[in-house]
Structure 1
Amino acid sequence: MSIPKTVGWLARSIPRASRKTNPRVRHIPLPQPSRCLHNQTKKSAQAAPQPRQEPAFSGSSNPQLSFPCLDNAEDRTRELTGRRSLSGPEPTYTTGEHQTFHSAEPLLLDWGGVLPSFDIAWEAWGTLNADKSNAILLHTGLSASSHAHSTEANKKPGWWEKFIGPGAPLDTNKYFVICTNVLGGCYGSTGPSSRDPISGKIYATSFPILTLSDMVRAQFRLMDFMGIDKLYASVGCSMGGMQSLALGILDTERVGRIVSVSGCARSHPYSIAMRHTQRQVLMNDPAWSQTRGNFYETMPPHQGMKLARQIATITYRSGPEWEKRFGRARADPSKPPALCPDFLIETYLDHAGEKWCLEYDANSLLYISKAMDLFDLGRTLQDATAQRRRDNVGRLGDQLQRQSLDEMCSLTLPEQPYEEQESSADIMAAASKPGGQPMSSGPPPEDLVKGLAPLRDVPTLVLGVASDILFPAWQQREIAETLRKGGNRSVTHVELGEDRSLFGHDTFLLDLEGVGGEIHQFLG
């Protein structure tokens, strides 16, 4: 078996003297058994790890296993503790130079919270024409910044570098492309790591619950500031694809075309479950749980963030691509198996979590992922949200007005756990009856048809990927079918099969020909 070249990063962080030559792989040597965690005392989340104890091997039939993955986590905690004692809170979330729009007017959020003021980080490429009719608003995924493409002020390649530029899918010879860091983020826009202008303290978990529609309302403020009454197009992938649809629903008159790639019209149980798991892993990191998210002047929950990112990475890629890249290869077949990262896929996930755990605010991950879970463009939720906003609009008159404690903390856990109302066997039997269909392939629900009806006159491109397990292709089919049932005759639906893309959900970041080509053709 040939080992992929993509694992070159595995060796870059290893001291040169410790590497062994192997014609097939680059590997990470396991530490000697003297670095173990046996019989260590429980440590505070804010205290530096205690010196590791020497293992006692006498009387044992086998030596104690070594755990370099835990050693590394303790080393990072110790390092951060030392840094904080000298330089104050860490880390700093930033992506380089960008523009900042400040709104001094308060913003009412869908669930009753109020931001007295807020900032939106943004960057742009191309030239806005005289009548300001060529603007494209690019919406990001969960953790991306406004830096989608390099600029004179920040020459670092952006997260969609090849998709933006002269002759690119978002052609800057034609269009003025704007990208923002979402409200709730940590790359220049107001979020949990920002300071509350009323108290002067970091919001942390006093930041109010927000929705994807709240993020779009903040973007509308930026459009107003720029004098852009109507976008040529709203373009987004993943969470951005959800925002792109939400923008059209909030104000159909402000957008000429919609592009939604690997998104959905309502969050479904699988993606909610995966994001919930990530949040639980993060919130149970002692650095988060012992401070209830107010960790900014102590220790960031880097271990929880690392594990949360590993879970997310599984949903972003996986599938046939990983079989081709990694197969069942181990990092160093000459070594005995280990409980720490051992297979190449394990070391890949470990690396993905390690490099990211201090680059993104933990609370932004919690708030934005929850906003994704709450997303539903069905008419029932839209009506309930509109009524709630009417009930709460008075809070804008007094920025100091706060929700009562009962309103803010009304969630209680049920005394009895959830019990299945319908057995799995009953569900399978219903699907196997003549004419029976799985829920995912049935007709779109009427509530969703009514909810998307405002887009009946907006040309829309909906693109999905067969290898995507986080936003499966049937969810994009649901969007297209719902729009068509609601009367939209200008729906373009494209599904990239595994023969065209093996990259799962991350296809929108990687497939310039497939995803980029379809967007370029649709925009004209």
Structure 2
Amino acid sequence: MSVRRLVAAARPSFQQPSSVTARTRSIVTSKPSLLLTRQQSNQASRQLHHQAPRNAQAAQAAQQEQEHHIYESTNPALSFPCLDAVESRSASLSRRSLSGPEPSYTTGKHLNFHSRQPLLLDWGGILSEFDVAYEAWGTLNREKNNAILLHTGLSASSHAHSTEANPKPGWWEKFIGPGKPLDTDKYFVICTNVIGGCYGSTGPSSIDPANGERYATRFPILTMEDMVRAQFRLLDMLGIENLYASVGSSMGGMQSLAAGVLFPERVSRVVSISGCARSHPYSIAMRHTQRQVLMMDPNWARGFYYGRVPPHGGMKLAREIATVTYRSGPEWEQRFGRRRADPSRPPALCPDFLIETYLDHAGEKFCLEYDPNSLLYVSKAMDLFDLGQEHRNRINNVRQENSGKLQAFMDGEGLASNAGGDLCSLTLPDKPYEEKEQPAVGEADAASIPDAREPPADLVAGLKPLANTPALVLGVASDILFPAWQQREIANTLRRAGNERVTHIELDEEKSLFGHDTFLLDLENVGGAVKKFLG
């Protein structure tokens, strides 16, 4: 051990923890040739105190280097290729953002409907004009009464089936076509990208005509009903007064019900697959976590990331969380089990098990295919969905209060006078939420608890407009995102509302292990039920 190191170790400014000091003392005493006399030590100490600060820093660096050499860890540091990949992608996206404008998320050719009539949204926002991207298959008959409006899930585009302009297979490719469940020899099938999306319809990444800049998080809050109203503007343009059927799965199943409630005189049949009549806590919680990991990505920048590095890391994690809810545990047991990607290598903190590599791939593939802000807005619209009468009354009152604002805009007065009224006034509570102990349910109280099979009166009242509309409600036992009891709730509520033409089908786990994604994959059971119902 050097003189300089021994002296430095004695100084308060370089004092080591007691365990290290004890260890140093044992090393020093085990090597008598390195010991110094007290006089030599004091002399060296005085010289060190009179050195320039630069020399003191050099002494400290030498000490740290020597300590690192003596006390080197017994284990090497782990490598993190998954984080390396994220950093590498950020670097490449940074270079891309400097080379040109943000690319459009829209992929593939589609038709476009542009409305110059403003649209008042449920929570008070106004779209002065908007686009609805759509695609169509089959032929609209002379009476224009064979149209089927197909509603999409959260992140889907209007490309449900291949077209001449875009031959890439669509997300419901096997369900649409001659002789298929949505038989194009019989029906004229229309599918749209919802407003708030990023595949051609107006959303947060679109240009705000008021200032020529992207909306970003200046885009107003949306609801399922807002999306449906925009779709019916398209139907008006096409001259379609009555739909043969409104069909949708997942978020589309919610929209399909909303279409029947909002426009009962224009919807002849309703198909709702793996949907709900109101969002429930579990699905709200899962979408909340997705939004949180996305918004916590520093690149999100409060939504104003356009032209810069997008929050691809947050998007990747959000998609991984979503993917967990889209499939089922039994399917993954069969598909992945506990197998590791490479059993010959030691375990790692990055994706290691096959299920981890699957989720990692799903997130990586999606993180630049969909606009992060669209994920926030569309998923929030799903959370807000509630066809109960109390909620509908509240929203109708809000719309009535804001009708004057819409009229003022149409009269050319603009929105400036109302700009302050739309600012979010949400605040966090002073105290965090605390779970409160619930009283035990006694026998007397148990009699007052509503039967789970008996739907809430509020929801029954809200679905009254569908009392005379034939409905197919389909659920899947292995679905954890929209559990089968939520489809049972729809069917029971419709029946209590007076609807005698409700067809309710529940696929057990023997028929489908695919969970929520069953509607995308099970042509035989899901497609067969739809085909039979439509006739």
Structure-2-length-normalised TM-score: 0.84
1:10-34 CA-partner distances (Å, limit 9, x unpaired): xxxxxxxxxxxxxxxxxxxxxxxxx
Structure-to-structure mapping, 1:237-248, within 5 angstroms: 237-248=249-260
Determine the C-alpha separation between the residues in 2 that align with 1:493 and 1:432. 34
Between Structure 1 and Structure 2, how many residues are aligned? 462
Structure-to-structure mapping, 1:211-226, within 5 angstroms: 211-226=223-238
The residue that corresponds to 1:449 in the other structure is: 460
Moved over 4 A (4+): 429-437
Specify whether residues 355 and 440 from structure 1 end up closer, same or farther in structure 2 by C-alpha distance, changes over 3 A only. farther
Determine the C-alpha separation between the residues in 2 that align with 1:134 and 1:365. 33
**Structure 1 stretches lacking a partner, 5+ long:** 1-55
CA contact under 8 A between 1:430 and 1:436: conserved in structure 2?
no
CA displacement at 1:409 relative to structure 2: 1.9
The residue that corresponds to 2:86 in the other structure is: 73
1:316-341 CA-partner distances (Å, limit 9, x unpaired): 01311000000000000010000000
CA displacement at 1:417 relative to structure 2: 1.4
CA displacement at 1:405 relative to structure 2: 3.2
1:409-466 CA-partner distances (Å, limit 9, x unpaired): 210000011233443xx47x569986687x8934211000000011000000000000
CA contact under 8 A between 1:440 and 1:474: conserved in structure 2?
no
Specify whether residues 186 and 501 from structure 1 end up closer, same or farther in structure 2 by C-alpha distance, changes over 3 A only. same
The one-letter amino acid of 1:153's match is A
Determine the C-alpha separation between the residues in 2 that align with 1:352 and 1:83. 23
CA contact under 8 A between 1:95 and 1:147: conserved in structure 2?
no
The residue that corresponds to 2:182 in the other structure is: 170
Specify whether residues 356 and 409 from structure 1 end up closer, same or farther in structure 2 by C-alpha distance, changes over 3 A only. same
335, 338, 341: which one pairs with 1:328?
A: 338
SS of 1:353's equivalent in the other structure is helix
1:313-371 CA-partner distances (Å, limit 9, x unpaired): 00001311000000000000010000000000000000000000000000000000000
Structure 2 residue 358 is the aligned partner of structure 1 residue 344: no
CA contact under 8 A between 1:331 and 1:344: conserved in structure 2?
yes
The residue that corresponds to 1:417 in the other structure is: 432
SS of 1:252's equivalent in the other structure is coil
Determine the C-alpha separation between the residues in 2 that align with 1:311 and 1:298. 25
The residue that corresponds to 2:399 in the other structure is: 389
Q: Which has the higher helix share?
A: 2
Return the index of the structure with the highest Cα Rg: 2
CA contact under 8 A between 2:275 and 2:486: conserved in structure 1?
yes
The residue that corresponds to 2:13 in the other structure is: none
Specify whether residues 398 and 349 from structure 1 end up closer, same or farther in structure 2 by C-alpha distance, changes over 3 A only. same
1:486-521 CA-partner distances (Å, limit 9, x unpaired): 110000000000000000000000000010000000
CA contact under 8 A between 1:441 and 1:474: conserved in structure 2?
no
1:39-95 CA-partner distances (Å, limit 9, x unpaired): xxxxxxxxxxxxxxxxx8961010000000000000000111111222232x42012
The residue that corresponds to 1:82 in the other structure is: 95
Determine the C-alpha separation between the residues in 2 that align with 1:190 and 1:432. 54
Structure-to-structure mapping, 1:52-451, within 5 angstroms: 59-89=72-102, 91-288=103-300, 291-399=301-409, 400-402=414-416, 403-405=418-420, 407-423=422-438, 426=439, 429=441, 441-451=452-462
Determine the C-alpha separation between the residues in 1 that align with 2:205 and 2:325. 26
Determine the C-alpha separation between the residues in 2 that align with 1:307 and 1:392. 38
**Structure 2 stretches lacking a partner, 5+ long:** 1-67
Determine the C-alpha separation between the residues in 2 that align with 1:134 and 1:339. 55
CA contact under 8 A between 2:247 and 2:253: conserved in structure 1?
yes
Determine the C-alpha separation between the residues in 1 that align with 2:235 and 2:451. 37
Determine the C-alpha separation between the residues in 2 that align with 1:251 and 1:468. 29
1:79-123 CA-partner distances (Å, limit 9, x unpaired): 11111222232x420120100000000000000000000000000
Specify whether residues 440 and 358 from structure 1 end up closer, same or farther in structure 2 by C-alpha distance, changes over 3 A only. farther
Determine the C-alpha separation between the residues in 2 that align with 1:323 and 1:345. 9
1:253-291 CA-partner distances (Å, limit 9, x unpaired): 010000000000000000000000000000000001xx2
The residue that corresponds to 1:472 in the other structure is: 483
482, 495, 501: which one pairs with 1:490?
A: 501
The one-letter amino acid of 2:480's match is I
Structure-1-length-normalised TM-score: 0.86
The one-letter amino acid of 1:443's match is E
Specify whether residues 306 and 414 from structure 1 end up closer, same or farther in structure 2 by C-alpha distance, changes over 3 A only. same
CA contact under 8 A between 2:256 and 2:270: conserved in structure 1?
yes
RMSD: 1.7
SS of 1:254's equivalent in the other structure is coil
Bigger drift between 57-66 and 299-308 goes to: 57-66
